[in-house]
C-alpha cells in the first residue's frame, strides 16, 4: 500500500484568486472610467448602469438557485419593490419642486386619478433616507415572511417556483390595479435621474461588494451547508441542520440584493413600470443566470451583460419583434447543450485539461485498485494501533 | 433507564398496521442487531426513532427525554444519527466536505455565517477519512464514488457526528464479499465506543459481529437474546429463517 500519511491536502479555490483580482480590477477600472471617454450623460453610460443593476439582480438569483437549489420565478418582486419605493420617493420630491399644470404639489399621476393630495401613508417617503430604508428592508422582510410560510412547511422545488411566480403576478396586478397610488400601466416617470459618474461608481461599488459578499457566503461553512442542502436536503435534516432556516436565510440575503439593485435601477434610469416587478423580468433573470453559468457568481454578470447587450444590438433590426421568442430558444439551447452555462462550461473544460476527466481518473484508480487487490487481507484488515472512534 | 426505549409503538398507514404495539429498548454501549423478514417493520421503526414519520400511538424515549414526534434535526441534536438504506450523501460536495459538515458542532444558521474551519476540525476529518480508508478520495465529488465507497463515506459521516446512538440500516447492501468483511470490521471498531443499532440481512455478517439480536416480525418483537439462542428458537425458525435457514 502506498504511504498516505502525506496526502492531507484539501483542494479549494481561493476566495478571490490573484488572476481574478487583477482581471476584476481591470474590468472595474474600465467600467468606472466610461464617463470620461463616453461622456457623462451618454446612452452607453445609461445602459452600463442599467446592466449592472440587472447583473446584481441575476447574482441574487444565482445565490439561491445555484447554491441553495431554490428556483424563484418571482425574484423581480423584490427588485420591483425596491424600485417602486425609490421611484415614488423621487417622484413625490420632484412634484414638490415642479408643480403640475394645475399647480398641485403632488405626483401628477395621482392627480389624474382623482386624488386631491398625497395620501397620508406615503408622506414618510418624502424623506430620502426613509425611502431607501423602506426600499431595502421591506422586500427583505417580505422575503422572510414568504420563506417562513413556504420553507417551514417544506414547500420546495417546483411548488416553490410556482408560488414565487404567483407572487410576481400578484404584485404586477396590484400595481396595475392601484393606478392612483402606483401609476398602474404607465409606471412612474418624469422624476429625473442620477445618470452620471458618481452614481455609476456607487452602482459599481455595490456590485463589487455584493459579489464579494456572495463569495464570502458561499466559501464559508454556511455555503457548504447550503450546497449540501441543495444536493440532499433529507441527509442534511438527519444531520441536524434545520433546512428551512438555512433556506430562509439565503432567500432573505438574495431578496436584499435584488431590492438594492431595484432601488439603484429606479434612481438610475428614471422610470419604473409594472414590468420591473413581474414574472417577465423574473424569468429573464433566470435565463441570464443560466446562460452565464449557475453557481459561479461571475456567470450572472456575464449572462446579464451578454443577453442584454445582444438585445440592445439587435433592437434596431427586424429581429426585435422576435426577441422574446429568441430568449425562449436561447434558454432551451443552454439547458440542452451547456447546462453549466458559459462560465461553468469553460471552468469544467480547464479543469479537465489540468486533471483529466473524472472518468479518466476513475479508470486509472480502478486499475491501481485491481493491481493491489492481491494485498487485501479480509479480516481485521484495518490498521491496528489507532482508534479513531 | 435504557438509552433508547420504545413503548407500545403502533403505526397504522392507510389501514395497514406496520408496527404493532412494539416494545423495544437498547442499552448504552450495546451493539444490537435487528433482524426480520422483508416488511417486518425494521426500517419503519428506524424512521419512527429518527422522526421521519410520526407514530399513531406509543412513546419513544431517548437518553431520558421524550422524542416522540420531534423533527429529524432535533432528534439528531439529541444524539441519534442514522445511516440510510440507500447511501445518502451530498453528491456534488467533495468527500472531505461531506465529512466536514457532518462533524458534531453548532448547527445554527447565524453561527455558521462566515465561519471557517479550525485545525482541530481538519485533523478530525482526516482521522475519520483514514479510519474508513478514503483519504485518497478526499477531494473527489461524492458522486464519482463506487457504491461500496459511498456506504463507507456515509458511515464516516455518522462517525463524524459523534452520536450517542448510531442507527445503521443495512450498511453492506451492494458490497463485494471483501467489502462486507471490511464493513463488519469497521462496525466492530465503531461499536467499541458507540451504541449501535444495526439492521442487517446478511447472516454471515451477523454471525461475525452480533452479540445480542432482536427479531422482528409483522411489526412486533418476536424474539430477543444472544444470537445462538435466537437462531435456535422454534418460532424464529418458522417465520424468519424459513426453509432455507442460516447457511
Asked if the C-beta of A353 comes within 8 angstroms of chain B's C-beta atoms, the answer is: no
Q: Is the pLDDT of residue B10 over 70?
A: yes
Nearest CA in chain A to B93: A228
Taking only the tens place, the pLDDT of each residue in B205-243 is 888 888 899 999 889 899 999 998 988 888 888 876 564
Q: How confident is the model at residue A57 (pLDDT cuts 50, 70, 90)?
A: very high
Residue B213 CA to residue B72 CA, distance in Å, equals 26
Q: How confident is the model at residue B123 (pLDDT cuts 50, 70, 90)?
A: very high
Averaged pLDDT score across all residues of chain B: 91
- The answer to whether residues A211 and A297 touch, using CB atoms and an 8 Å cutoff, is yes
β-partners of residue B16 are B13
Residue A146 CA to residue A141 CA, distance in Å, equals 8
β-partners of residue B168 are B83, B198
Domain boundaries of chain A, sorted by first residue: 17-318
Q: Is the CB of B140 less than 8 angstroms away from the CB of A358?
A: yes
What is the pLDDT, as a whole number, of residue B11? 94
Instruction: Give the pLDDT mean for A338-343.
Output: 94
β-partners of residue B9 are B22
Tell me the residues of chain A between 305 and 344 that have a Cβ less than 8 Å away from chain B.
none
Residue A215 CA to residue A14 CA, distance in Å, equals 10
Q: Convert A87-100 to b/e letters by CB count within 10 Å (16 or more is b).
A: bbbbbbbebeeeee
Residue B92 CA to residue B96 CA, distance in Å, equals 11
- Here the cell at position A241 is 441542520
Q: How far is B173 from chain A (nearest CA, A)?
A: 17
Q: How far is CA A133 from CA A95, A125, A139, B176, in A?
A: 21, 10, 10, 62
- The answer to whether residues B100 and B119 touch, using CB atoms and an 8 Å cutoff, is no
Least confident of A217-226, A316-325, A332-341: A316-325
- Please list every residue in chain A whose beta carbon sits closer than 8 Å to the beta carbon of residue B128: 388
- Here the cell at position A184 is 398602474
Of B96, B101, B114, the CB nearest to A225: B101
- Name the pTM for this structure: 0.90
Looking from the CA of B142 toward its CB, the CA atoms found within 13 Å total 24
Phi/psi-derived region of residue A183, left when phi > 0, alpha when psi is between -120 and 50, beta in every other case = left
Query: What is the helix (H) or strand (E) element at residue A167, kind and residue range?
Result: helix A158-177
Q: Provide φ and ψ at A349, rounded to 5°.
A: -65, -45
Residue A64 CA to residue B99 CA, distance in Å, equals 24
Name the residue among A280, A326, A285 with its Cα closest to residue A165. Answer: A280
- Here the cell at position B231 is 437462531
DSSP A297: S
Q: Is the pLDDT of residue A382 over 70?
A: no
Q: Provide φ and ψ at B17, rounded to 5°.
A: -90, 110
What is the pLDDT, as a whole number, of residue A361? 64
Q: Convert B178-196 to b/e letters by CB count within 10 Å (16 or more is b).
A: ebbbbbbbbbebbbeebbb
Name the residue among A264, A248, A216 with its Cα closest to residue A55. Answer: A264
Residue A297 CA to residue A211 CA, distance in Å, equals 7
Averaged pLDDT score across all residues of chain A: 89
Beta strands B65-66; B220-226: pairing state: unpaired
Helix (H, G, I), strand (E, B) or coil at B14: coil
Q: Is the CB of A4 less than 8 angstroms away from the CB of B136?
A: yes
Q: H helices within B14-146, ranges in order?
A: 42-49, 72-78, 95-100, 109-112, 119-131
Q: H helices within chain B, ranges in order?
A: 42-49, 72-78, 95-100, 109-112, 119-131, 147-160, 177-191, 203-209, 227-231, 234-236
Taking only the tens place, the pLDDT of each residue in A175-201 is 999 999 999 999 999 999 999 999 999
Q: How confident is the model at residue A327 (pLDDT cuts 50, 70, 90)?
A: confident
Q: How confident is the model at residue A7 (pLDDT cuts 50, 70, 90)?
A: low
Asked if the C-beta of A241 comes within 8 angstroms of chain B's C-beta atoms, the answer is: yes
- Please list every residue in chain B whose beta carbon sits closer than 8 Å to the beta carbon of residue A67: none
Q: Is the CB of B185 less than 8 angstroms away from the CB of A234?
A: no
- Here the cell at position B38 is 422483508
- Please list every residue in chain A whose beta carbon sits closer than 8 Å to the beta carbon of residue B50: 238
Q: Is the CB of B90 less than 8 angstroms away from the CB of A237?
A: no
Q: How confident is the model at residue B244 (pLDDT cuts 50, 70, 90)?
A: very low
Helix (H, G, I), strand (E, B) or coil at B214: strand
- Here the cell at position B217 is 416480525
- Here the cell at position A32 is 468606472
Q: Is the pLDDT of residue B126 over 50?
A: yes
- Here the cell at position A109 is 399621476
- The predicted complex's ipTM stands at 0.92
- Here the cell at position B19 is 408496527
- Please list every residue in chain A whose beta carbon sits closer than 8 Å to the beta carbon of residue B163: none
Q: Is the CB of A232 less than 8 angstroms away from the CB of B116?
A: no
Percent of chain B with pLDDT over 70: 97
Q: Is the CB of A221 less than 8 angstroms away from the CB of B93?
A: no
Helix (H, G, I), strand (E, B) or coil at B167: strand
Taking only the tens place, the pLDDT of each residue in B38-66 is 888 999 999 999 999 999 999 999 999 99
Amino acid at each position: 500500500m502506498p504511504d498516505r500519511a502525506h496526502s492531507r491536502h484539501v483542494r479549494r479555490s481561493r476566495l478571490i484568486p490573484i488572476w481574478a483580482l487583477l482581471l476584476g480590477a481591470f474590468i472595474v477600472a474600465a467600467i468606472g472610467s466610461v464617463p470620461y471617454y463616453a461622456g457623462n450623460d451618454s446612452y452607453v453610460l445609461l445602459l452600463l448602469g442599467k446592466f449592472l443593476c440587472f447583473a446584481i439582480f441575476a447574482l441574487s438569483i444565482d445565490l439561491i438557485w445555484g447554491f441553495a437549489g431554490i428556483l424563484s420565478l418571482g425574484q423581480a418582486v423584490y427588485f420591483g419593490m425596491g424600485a417602486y419605493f425609490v421611484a415614488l420617493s423621487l417622484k413625490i420630491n420632484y412634484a414638490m419642486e415642479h408643480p403640475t399644470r394645475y399647480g398641485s404639489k403632488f405626483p401628477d399621476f395621482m392627480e389624474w386619478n382623482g386624488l386631491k393630495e398625497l395620501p397620508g401613508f406615503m408622506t414618510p417617503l418624502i424623506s430620502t433616507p426613509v425611502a431607501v430604508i423602506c426600499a431595502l428592508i421591506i422586500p427583505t422582510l417580505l422575503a422572510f415572511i414568504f420563506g417562513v410560510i413556504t420553507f417551514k412547511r417544506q414547500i420546495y422545488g417546483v411548488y416553490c417556483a410556482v408560488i414565487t411566480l404567483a407572487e410576481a403576478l400578484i404584485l404586477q396586478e396590484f400595481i396595475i390595479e392601484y393606478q392612483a397610488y402606483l401609476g398602474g400601466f404607465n409606471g412612474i416617470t418624469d422624476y429625473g435621474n442620477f445618470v452620471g459618474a458618481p452614481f455609476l461608481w456607487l452602482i459599481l461599488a455595490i456590485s463589487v461588494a455584493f459579489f464579494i459578499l456572495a463569495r464570502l457566503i458561499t466559501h464559508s461553512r454556511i455555503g457548504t451547508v447550503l450546497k449540501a442542502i441543495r444536493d440532499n436536503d433529507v441527509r442534511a435534516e438527519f444531520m441536524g441542520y434545520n433546512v428551512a432556516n438555512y433556506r430562509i436565510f439565503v432567500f432573505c440575503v438574495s431578496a436584499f440584493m435584488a431590492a438594492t439593485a431595484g432601488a439603484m435601477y429606479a434612481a438610475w434610469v428614471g422610470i419604473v413600470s409594472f414590468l420591473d416587478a413581474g414574472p417577465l423580468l423574473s424569468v429573464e433573470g433566470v435565463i441570464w443566470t443560466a446562460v452565464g453559468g449557475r453557481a459561479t457568481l461571475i456567470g450572472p454578470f456575464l449572462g446579464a451583460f451578454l443577453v442584454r447587450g445582444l438585445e440592445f444590438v439587435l433592437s434596431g433590426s427586424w429581429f426585435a419583434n422576435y426577441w422574446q421568442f429568441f430568449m425562449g430558444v436561447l434558454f432551451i439551447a443552454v439547458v440542452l447543450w451547456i447546462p453549466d452555462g458559459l462560465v461553468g462550461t469553460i471552468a469544467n473544460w480547464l479543469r479537465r485539461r489540468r486533471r483529466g476527466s473524472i472518468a479518466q481518473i476513475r479508470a486509472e484508480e480502478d486499475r491501481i485498485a485491481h493491481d493491489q487487490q492481491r494485498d487485501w487481507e479480509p479480516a481485521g484488515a484495518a490498521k491496528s494501533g489507532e482508534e479513531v472512534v | 433507564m435504557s438509552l433508547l426505549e420504545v413503548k407500545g409503538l403502533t403505526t397504522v398507514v392507510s389501514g395497514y398496521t406496520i408496527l404493532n404495539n412494539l416494545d423495544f429498548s437498547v442499552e448504552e454501549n450495546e451493539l444490537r442487531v435487528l433482524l426480520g423478514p422483508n416488511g417486518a417493520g425494521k426500517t419503519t421503526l428506524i424512521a419512527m426513532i429518527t422522526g421521519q414519520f410520526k407514530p399513531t400511538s406509543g412513546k419513544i424515549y431517548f437518553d431520558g427525554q421524550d422524542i416522540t414526534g420531534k423533527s429529524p434535526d432535533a432528534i439528531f441534536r439529541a444524539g441519534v444519527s442514522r445511516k440510510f438504506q440507500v447511501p445518502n450523501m451530498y453528491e456534488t460536495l467533495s468527500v472531505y466536505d461531506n465529512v466536514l459538515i457532518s462533524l458534531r458542532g453548532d448547527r445554527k444558521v447565524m453561527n455558521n455565517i462566515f465561519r471557517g474551519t479550525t485545525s482541530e476540525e481538519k485533523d478530525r476529518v482526516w482521522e475519520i477519512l483514514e479510519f474508513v480508508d478514503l483519504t485518497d478520495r478526499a477531494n473527489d465529488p461524492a458522486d464519482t464514488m463506487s457504491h461500496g465507497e459511498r456506504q463507507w463515506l456515509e458511515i464516516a459521516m455518522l462517525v463524524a457526528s459523534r452520536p450517542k446512538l448510531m442507527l445503521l440500516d443495512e450498511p453492506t447492501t451492494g458490497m463485494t464479499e471483501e467489502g462486507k468483511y471490511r464493513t463488519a470490521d469497521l462496525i466492530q471498531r465503531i461499536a467499541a465506543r458507540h451504541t449501535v443499532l444495526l439492521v442487517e440481512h446478511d447472516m454471515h455478517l451477523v454471525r461475525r459481529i452480533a452479540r445480542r439480536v432482536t427479531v422482528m416480525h409483522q411489526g412486533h418483537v418476536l424474539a430477543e437474546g444472544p444470537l445462538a439462542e435466537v437462531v435456535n428458537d422454534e418460532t424464529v425458525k418458522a417465520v424468519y429463517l424459513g426453509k432455507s435457514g442460516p447457511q
